[in-house]
Structure 1
Amino acid sequence: MATYSIYHAGISLNTFQKFTLAQEITKIHANVTGAEAYFAQVIFKELDLHDCFIGGVLLDEPHIFLSGQIRNGRSEQIRKQLLVEIEIAIQKITKLTGHQIWAYLDELAPSLMIEYGQILPSVGSDKAWFATLPASIQNKLTRLNS
C-alpha cells in the first residue's frame, strides 16, 4: 500500500544501511498509520551525482530524495508525522543533515492500486480485505508481519 522509493546521489548505501532504513521506514509507516507492516515497500535506487540538479545547478553534495506513495484517507497530521519521522530515521542512519534529505508523499485512491493480486482496500478496511485473500497469501503476509 505504501511504496517508499529512496533515490540517493553522492552517497553509497551499504546493504546494512538499506536493511536498517527499510526496517525503520516500515516500522514508522505501521506505527503512524496503523496499517500492517506487510503493506510497506521500500525501494532503493542509486543516482549519479552528476545526473542531479537543483535550481538548474549540478548537485554538489550528497542528497536523498524520498518519494512515498500512500493510500489516501489519512489526516494531515498523520502525513506530516510520517514525513518527519522518516526524515529523522534517514538522518540517523545516513548521517546526512536535514537540508540533504527531501521527502514527498503522494496519495493514491486505493481503487487505483493492486497488491498481492487484489485491489487495495480503503483505509480502515484492511482486516476485511485480508480475509478475502487466498490462504497461501495470508500465510505469507502473516510471516512478513511477524
Structure 2
Amino acid sequence: MPVYTCTTVQSTLSAETKADLAAEVTRIHSMINHVPGSYVNVVFHELPADAVFTDGQPGRPLLINGWVRTGHPEAQSSQLVAEVAAAASRVTGIPAKRILVVLQNSPAHLAIEGGRVLPAPGEEEAWLRESAAEGKEAD
C-alpha cells in the first residue's frame, strides 16, 4: 500500500545499502501502521549528479517521499517520518542534514492495488479476508 521513493545521485548507495534501507523502511512502516511488510513498497530513483540541486548548487541529498493513506493519527505519522529519517541516516551513513523525508497522503479510495480499492486505515483485516475469499473463488 504505501510507496516510498528514495531519490539520490547515481552511485550514492550500494545495492546492499538499498536493500538494508528498504528493509528498515518496511519494518518501521509495518510496526507503526500495523500492516504486513508485504504492503510496503520501496523504490530507488537515481539521477545524474547534474540533475540534483540543493540551495541552487549541485547536491547529494537523500530525498524520501512516502505516500500513505489518509486517516492515520497525527502522532503516528510524526513518529513514522522521524523514525524513517533516523534509519535513513543510520543505514546509509548520509548525515541527517542531507536527508529529507516527506509523507504525503490521500484517501484510500483513490488508490488500487491488486485490482482492489485500498481499505481505509483500520479496515485492513476485513480487506485481507475479502481478498482471500476472492482468491478461493477464483480457484
* TM-score normalized by the length of structure 1: 0.86
Report the counterpart of residue 18 of structure 1 in structure 2. Answer: 18
Structure 1 distance, partners of 2:22, 2:28, is: 10
Structure 2 distance, partners of 1:7, 1:53, is: 12
Structure 2 distance, partners of 1:93, 1:137, is: 38
SS at match of 1:133: helix
Contact 1:6 1:67 in 2 (8 A): yes
Alpha-carbon shift at residue 59 of structure 1 (Å): 2.3
Report the counterpart of residue 46 of structure 1 in structure 2. Answer: 46
Task: Provide the aligned length of Structure 1 versus Structure 2.
Answer: 136
Structure 2 distance, partners of 1:24, 1:130, is: 24
Alpha-carbon shift at residue 9 of structure 1 (Å): 1.9
% identical aligned pairs: 26
Structure 1 outlier segments of 4+, above 4 Å: 134-138
Instruction: Quickly say closer, same or farther: Cα 1:117–1:101, change in 2 above 3 A.
Output: same
Alpha-carbon shift at residue 134 of structure 1 (Å): 4.6
Code of the aligned partner of 1:26:
T
Could you tell which deviates more after superposition, 27-36 or 2-11?
A: 2-11
Alpha-carbon shift at residue 21 of structure 1 (Å): 0.7
Structure 2 distance, partners of 1:108, 1:58, is: 32
Instruction: Quickly say closer, same or farther: Cα 1:24–1:137, change in 2 above 3 A.
Output: farther
Q: How does 1:50-69 map to 2 (within 5 A)?
A: 50-55=50-55, 57-60=56-59, 62-69=60-67
Structure 1 distance, partners of 2:127, 2:4, is: 22
Which of 74, 77, 80 is matched with 1:76 structurally?
74
Which of 117, 120, 136 is matched with 1:119 structurally?
117
SS at match of 2:131: coil
Structure 1 distance, partners of 2:135, 2:80, is: 27
Code of the aligned partner of 1:44:
F
SS at match of 1:74: coil
* Mapped pair 1:100 → 2:106: no
Structure 2 distance, partners of 1:136, 1:19, is: 32
Structure 2 distance, partners of 1:134, 1:108, is: 25
Note the residue ranges of structure 1 that are not aligned, 5 or more in a row.
Answer: 139-146
Alpha-carbon shift at residue 54 of structure 1 (Å): 2.7
